[in-house]
Structure 1
């Protein structure tokens, strides 16, 4: 009897359970974009200060990132289904509170609760998938569907949110979560198994949880500040505090007999390599995603709605690539697929280096789609490698690490790309700005294309046009430089793939390869129960 025959296959209940698990992910994907659409209406209604507006937008992401590790460990202890249902109910309650918030202060508090509740959802769903789908092929396909739903949600979120805002008030976008979470809470006990780790019944270590927050919150804040205002004393201080707290967190985990996060996971080559793959892939692709809407609106003069429509085909490519990844991995092997996909992604990034102010938009679409197409298998197979190389009793913690890598990848990717583009933009402006532009207008234009357009309105027509044209050229040059950065990151991904991803090809060899890696990493190979 082969190893593949010993692994139990998922049945109808598991596949219906997977459909249920995608629902909270869809809500989280919607939340990525709908609040930005609702911002003008809620600002007019609640009249928040500038600082309050930033907190309304940012506190949700801050607290999700800060509580991921804590919630992943808590799910291992009290049960992943139990934590998911509690988090779903809390998310629905906080959504109602946000929808009917009468003041900016209460809306900020509701968004904070949404962030904490949201941190329970993604690690719980991914940990449950890893235990419901033991067969490697089925698990990869389940993860692909899980990621596909998120990509689809990000794509259609602005459309759904726009319709809601056309028909109802700004709070209606928060109420989208309520029926979804009600369905999750009602059907979860029927379709989802309860699964706990070996620390079941224990409680989390509160100092460890505090150190986890003290690590993630300053890091996320530091990256956001670096993007918004450039590298500064405050952003570097925040990053330093985060790194210092992270060192203390790791030292404490090593001393505890039952740590909140099993840092021994990071002694496993496949686990560390998979996390690094996901981090690098997220950094590479989010840098591109960060720039595309800005290029469309600031350089090409496309409306926000039209820019969103241009992004839908790119999201469609991500959906298609996610669904095809498991089958291609089975046919060609994970290492060959990831390396080949990396070549495609690098080609797309290098194509962006030829970007001009007047480049045909379909060409831009093709280049970005190639980058997305080549990067998507990294997310699907990287996630699978992480959850399969961790012991089942630590599935929640492993899932939390996966999501934390994603959150950090978004922050680092935007920070790196934003810093690079800003540097190239300012350098190009200094070299190419016409001498006829007044000093004050030139200084204002250094802040970006939007600032240049604003400054140009106070200038004579010819001078103003020259200022805006130079700013658009400078931004495009920065975008092209980001293409080189993306290609370099993808090259690192390909090298890492060849180092850490096991060679496997075909159905039989894939099974043995996966089993071998699981045995090396200490994960168990379950046999079907009679």
Structure 2
């Protein structure tokens, strides 16, 4: 039986604002390192391996521990977990700011990733508790997502300003006041939820989950970076085998780490698949826009960044417009509309020219795809969280967000590989990527070679766009057909 205790909860809106603050910071922390990394590298002089770990460890820890931390929140109380992890995040951020060696950055970023993995699912579960009305809950999730996306959007700008006037460690200090405010205000504004006292946390399941997800994500990253095939396949096999063991174990435990019976609830498995597949497409196509705008269309990095701003604005606007439409239309129709907008968004990518109106088409495609998922995402998350028992809402939220993380990593491999195959076929080469091609053409100052590389890259981008249209059509069918069959 679930026990709910509310301590001086003044306003649901104030509670939502407090939950959104850490999400804003976590989003900034995901993106800001890319701005600070060159300065950090010059100062700390990491090896190539250390540099990779400095960049990747945060995401690894978020993806690998989110399911476990969601279960921890369900057991010890989500508000309590947010307070603990906000404290840990603040301390780790302060230590990272004054790091004197690469290993210190790696260690503190790992701790920050662990804390971030706990805060996000606990926050999503508390939103479901604070806003019991489905329409109000969906609107709150849209607002929460807006803060997260806003953080992603402003991170490069904030990082650039801070590096202009201070040292690279200042970007980590951003987290300290926000997390201190969260620690102080949470007991006053947030309700507490606590599962049955003494519910055990299966550490063996936690270890299986961590190693399985880290192995799969690492294998996907290795595949993108062109590592030896046997290493990539071997690591992927290890991750899959451990994942199967983890799933089988959950079915045998009285108190599983994650309740997989949730997937048997009407609409939950479908929502999970939609989240995974749309994340696959959005993550996979994210690597192409920058190359197209800069290496094909010849824009300076700042101008290329400005071209990507409309898609961020569209996603933020849609994440609020979708819930607003949900007050006037059936939620399933809003989600279906968002998915159809995404279908339309991949069409321009399938017809991108090397020159001419390519920039406009790229912007239109990005705006439509991000707006579509922005409108649908709050409803999909609500489909999952609302079907979970209140005492396991954190586990449900973490399961959905983990599917999203793995979808992004999988998309980078699948769509990156598809574009690479088309690129090589167009140039009649057996190895190398468009990155190598652009670098070689620039090094030789060979305009003819550059033209061939640009054409081959755009052909690969078109193939990705066509794949996106087809897969989105499948996603639409996946979402619609079971409802019709049930009717």
What is the TM-score with the length of structure 1 in the denominator?
Answer: 0.87
Cα distance in structure 2, aligned partners of 1:382 and 1:501 = 15
Structure 2 counterparts to residues 3-22 of structure 1, below 5 A: 13-22=11-20
Which whole-Å CA distance do the structure 2 matches of 1:470 and 1:367 have between them? 24
Moved more, 118-127 or 446-455: 446-455
1:499 counterpart = 2:481: yes
CA distance in 2 between counterparts of 1:250 and 1:267 reads 14
Which residue, out of 440, 443, 447, partners 1:455?
A: 440
Match of 1:173 in 2: 171
Q: Equivalent residue of 1:194, what SS?
A: strand
Matched, 1:312 2:309: yes
* 1:278 corresponds to: 275
The answer to whether the aligner puts 1:469 opposite 2:451 as a matched pair is yes
Q: How does 1:386-425 map to 2 (within 5 A)?
A: 386-425=384-423
Residue matched to 1:337: 334
Determine the structure 2 residue equivalent to 1:483: 465
Measured in 1, the distance between the counterparts of 2:163 and 2:391 equals 44
What is residue 182 of structure 2 aligned with on the other side? 184
Structure 1 SS opposite 2:328: helix
Deviation, structure 1 residue 339: 2.0
- Contact 2:68 2:206 (8 Å CA) reproduced: yes
Answer whether contact 1:155 1:311 (CA < 8 A) is retained: no
Q: Give 2:5's aligned residue.
A: none
In structure 2, C-alpha distance between the alignment counterparts of 1:457 and 1:382, rounded to whole Å: 45
* Structure 1 residues not aligned, in runs of 5+: 1-10, 431-441, 504-512, 514-530
Q: Compared with structure 1, are the counterparts of its residues 174 and 359 closer, same or farther at alpha carbon in structure 2 (3 Å cutoff)?
A: farther
Aligned to 1:438: none
Q: Distance in 1 between matches of 2:299 and 2:483?
A: 42
C-alpha distance 186-500 of structure 1, shift in aligned 2 (>3 A): farther
CA deviation vs aligned residue, 1:481-507 (integer Å, no higher than 9, x gap): 11112112211221122135699xxxx
Q: CA deviation at 1:397?
A: 0.4
For the aligned residue pairs, the C-alpha RMSD in angstroms reads: 2.0
Offset of residue 390 of structure 1: 1.1
Q: Deviating runs (4+, > 3 A) in structure 1? A: 456-459, 499-503
Q: Tell me, yes or no, if the aligned pair for 1:338 and 1:494 is still in contact at 8 Å.
A: no
Q: Specify the structure having the higher radius of gyration (Cα).
A: 1
C-alpha contact 1:279 1:409 (8 A) present in aligned 2 = yes
Which residue number in structure 1 is paired with residue 371 of structure 2?
Answer: 373
Asked if the contact 2:39–2:168 (Cα under 8 Å) also holds between the matched residues in 1, the reply is yes
The reply to whether residue 225 of structure 1 matches residue 207 of structure 2 is no
Inter-partner Cα distance in structure 2 for 1:46 and 1:303: 29
Cα distance change, pair 253–346 in 1 and its aligned pair in 2 (3 A): same
Name the CA distance, whole Å, in 1 between partners of 2:117 and 2:236.
Answer: 22
Structure 1 stretch displaced more, 328-337 or 55-64: 328-337
Task: Name the SS for the 2:183 alignment partner.
Answer: helix
Aligned equivalents of 2:395 and 2:215: distance in 1?
21
1:458–1:243: structure 2 CA closer, same or farther, 3 Å change rule? closer
CA contact (8 A) 2:63 2:402 kept: yes
